[in-house]
Amino acid sequence: MKSGWKMPQADQLWKLLDKYKYVLLILAAGLVLLLWPVEKKEEPTPSALGGGWESFDLAALEEKLSRILSQVEGAGEVTVALTVKSGTERVPLTDRSTSSRERESQVEEKTVVINTGGGEQAVVRVERAPVFQGAVVVSQGGDRAEVRLLLTQAVSALTGLGADRITICKGER
């Protein structure tokens, strides 16, 4: 039995591997990346961040901040007032369809709804957190520079406000 194809010799095989080593290396790396297990990371949801934005209560947040900041060494009793530029915002998911007839095109946009047990509910595409405009902190230790710095840093970390939007005042003892 004679055929036109014969098994390449070992030296010929090594020559081919040497010639195409970079191509084979790239293919192997691609295969490894395709087979690499990937963990799906979940985006933090409002409820995962503590209480949820849908139940945003400015007075409760101010009270919570006051309790937290009162624990800063030297701060004493603390009262916090926040101003909000915009509250929570929910942007619904929309379905956009375009139809064109001769020289006119028409865009129709509909809000996507799902049927819940008690009726229909719009699907929320994005839920934005409240945006704070400024903060005033009244502290018994507000006359001390190190306390003012710590309170400013804490309020900035908790609200996202810059130091220029946070005012620390000395309160009565």
Same domain, 165 and 95: no
Same domain, 136 and 163: yes
Same domain, 75 and 106: no
* Domain that includes residue 95, residue range: 90-126
Q: Measured on CA atoms in the order 138, 139, 145, 149, is the torsion positive or negative?
A: negative
Same domain, 98 and 150: no
Q: How far is CA 112 from CA 76, 92, 120, 124, in A?
A: 51, 7, 10, 9
Q: In whole angstroms, what is the distance from residue 121 CA to residue 5 CA?
A: 68
Q: Across-strand partners of 101?
A: 104
- DSSP summary character for residue 141: T
Q: What is the pLDDT of residue 51?
A: 43
Residue 3 counted as domain residue: no
Residue 149 counted as domain residue: yes
pLDDT under 70 in the chain at which residues?
A: 1-8, 39-55, 87-89, 91, 125, 173
DSSP characters over 86-137: E--EEEEPEEEEEEEETTEEEEEEEE-EEEETTEEEEPEEEEEPPEEEEEEE
Q: Encode pLDDT of 29-73 as tens digits.
A: 888 888 877 765 544 444 433 444 455 778 888 899 999 999 999
Q: What is the pLDDT of residue 158?
A: 87
Same domain, 75 and 135: yes
Domain count, the chain: 2
pTM over 0.75: no
* Residue closest to 152 by CA, chosen among 54, 46, 64, 78: 78
Same domain, 78 and 138: yes
Q: What is the pLDDT of residue 54?
A: 54
Q: What is the pLDDT of residue 151?
A: 93
Same domain, 84 and 94: no
**Residue 115: CA count within 13 A, CB half-sphere:** 0
Query: Hunting for tokens 């865009």 — which residue is that?
Result: 107
